[in-house]
């Protein structure tokens, strides 16, 4: 079972939690219907993401076999055969589309919403196929394509719940996702001794650090503007959440700047292997929960 979870990259499902942000920040987390729709859509996106990971592993099979770390992946190590991997990929793709369509069948969403959400899944699939085949070899395009994946997640969450998303929140996700992706490229450039990722030849550390600083600054500015312009929450306490965000990004930045960091700037690995970072994220979530839903608890 463990080898199949590794094949599906279940630990990367943490990125798909962005789908819940429109629901949470709209103050609708306790709306049972919307919560159920979001959760099923979350599973749908997870299945599609896993199908893409398998596709990428199948595509890179030969290169992964001679890579010092990637050779341990389930397909590259032959612990899961190519044929079985293709079957699992197909099942995951069908499940992803079927789950979204089932929401319409059970009258949870309209046919328009259903088609829109499936369109987002399809766009996510096409972008990642293009990234795997060609995009990851083109400088700047590779970074933008990965960033679009984060944006599609929050857009997906807004579509399935019919919740309008603030432009400032969109801009926050765009800038922060670019910061994360550039940080990953920086980590790969510093640690990748075998130069297996060709696009790294086009980058250098000063270039990546310059734009990382730009996008990190924009993230803090856009998030602050979202806090001050949010009309759904009648409270001045929201702005103080910026202190949690500042600490989180500073701690994250410290981690990826650490020369002993073995995770090459991978956002998921960096977060999951730092207890202080996990705790700070939990504290931020608790604070936001109090600010967004505290009045419901009191009443």
CATH number at residue 94: 1.10.357.140
What whole-number distance in Å separates Cα of residue 150 and Cα of residue 232?
23
Q: How many structural domains is the chain composed of?
A: 2
For Cα atoms 180, 145, 131, give the angle at the middle one, nearest 5 degrees: 120
At which of 127, 145, 164 does a domain end?
A: 164
* pLDDT attached to residue 98: 97
**Residue finishing a domain among 164, 189, 222:** 164
Pair (149, 175) in one structural domain:
no
239: enclosing H helix or E strand: none
Give yes or no for a contact between 124 and 116, defined as CB atoms under 8 angstroms apart.
no
Q: Does 140 share its domain with 287?
A: no
Residue where a domain terminates, one of 164, 194, 221: 164
Average the pLDDT over 70-93 and give the result: 91
| Token couple for 167 | 């432009």
Query: For the segment 107-155, what is each residue's pLDDT rounded down to a tens digit?
Result: 999 999 999 999 999 999 999 999 999 999 999 999 999 999 999 999 9
CA distance 111 to 118: 10
| 131 and 59 inside one domain | yes
* Residue 150 and residue 218 in one domain: no
What is 122-154 written as a DSSP string? HHHHHHHHHHHHTGGGSTTHHHHHHHHHHHHHH
- Per the CB < 8 A criterion, the answer to whether 190 and 146 are in contact is no
Q: Which two tokens stand for residue 294?
A: 């505290």
If asked whether residues 127 and 2 sit together in one domain, one would say yes
* pTM exceeding 0.75: yes
196 falls in which pLDDT band (50, 70, 90)? low
- Check whether residue 154 and residue 187 sit in a common domain: no
Q: What is the span of the domain harbouring residue 269?
A: 166-299
Give the model confidence (pLDDT) of 276-297 as tens digits: 999 999 999 999 999 988 866 5
Report helix angle 242-257 to 205-229, nearest 10: 170
Neighbours of 291 (CB within 10 A): 19
Do residue 12 and residue 109 come from a single domain?
yes
Question: Which DSSP state fits 108?
Answer: S
Closest of 180, 174, 181 to residue 199, by C-alpha = 181
Return mean pLDDT, the chain: 91
Do 244 and 207 share a structural domain? yes
Give yes or no: residues 244 and 283 share one domain. Answer: yes
> Is residue 73 located within the same domain as residue 154?
yes
Give yes or no: residues 213 and 231 share one domain.
Answer: yes
pLDDT at 299 over 70: no
Residues 6+ apart with CB under 8 A from 235: 291
- What integer pLDDT is reported at residue 224 of this predicted model? 94
pLDDT at residue 276, rounded to an integer: 96
């Amino acid at each position: 079972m463990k080898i199949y979870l590794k094949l599906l990259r279940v630990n990367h499902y943490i990125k798909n939690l962005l789908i819940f942000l429109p629901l949470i920040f709209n103050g609708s987390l306790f709306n049972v219907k919307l919560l159920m729709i979001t959760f099923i859509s979350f599973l749908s996106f997870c299945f599609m993401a896993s199908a893409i990971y398998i596709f990428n592993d199948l595509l890179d099979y030969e290169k992964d076999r001679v890579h010092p770390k990637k050779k341990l992946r389930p397909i590259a190590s032959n612990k899961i055969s190519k044929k079985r991997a293709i079957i699992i990929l197909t099942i995951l793709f069908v499940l992803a589309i079927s789950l979204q369509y089932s929401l319409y069948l059970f009258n949870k969403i309209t046919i328009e919403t259903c088609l829109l959400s499936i369109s987002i899944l399809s766009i996510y699939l096409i972008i990642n196929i293009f990234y795997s085949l060609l995009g990851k070899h083109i400088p700047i395009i590779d970074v933008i394509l990965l960033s679009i994946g984060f944006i599609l997640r929050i857009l997906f969450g807004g579509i399935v719940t019919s919740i309008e998303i603030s432009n400032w929140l969109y801009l926050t996700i765009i800038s922060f996702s670019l910061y994360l992706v550039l940080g990953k490229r920086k980590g790969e450039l510093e640690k990748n001794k075998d130069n297996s990722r060709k696009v790294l030849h086009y980058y250098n550390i000063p270039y990546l650090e310059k734009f990382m600083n730009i996008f990190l600054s924009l993230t803090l500015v856009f998030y602050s503007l979202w806090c001050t312009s949010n009309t759904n929450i009648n409270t001045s306490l929201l702005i103080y959440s910026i202190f949690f965000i500042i600490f989180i990004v500073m701690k994250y930045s410290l981690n990826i700047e650490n020369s002993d960091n073995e995770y090459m700037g991978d956002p998921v690995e960096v977060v999951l292997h730092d207890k202080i970072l996990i705790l700070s994220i939990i504290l931020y979530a608790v604070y936001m929960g109090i600010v967004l839903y505290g009045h419901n608890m009191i009443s």
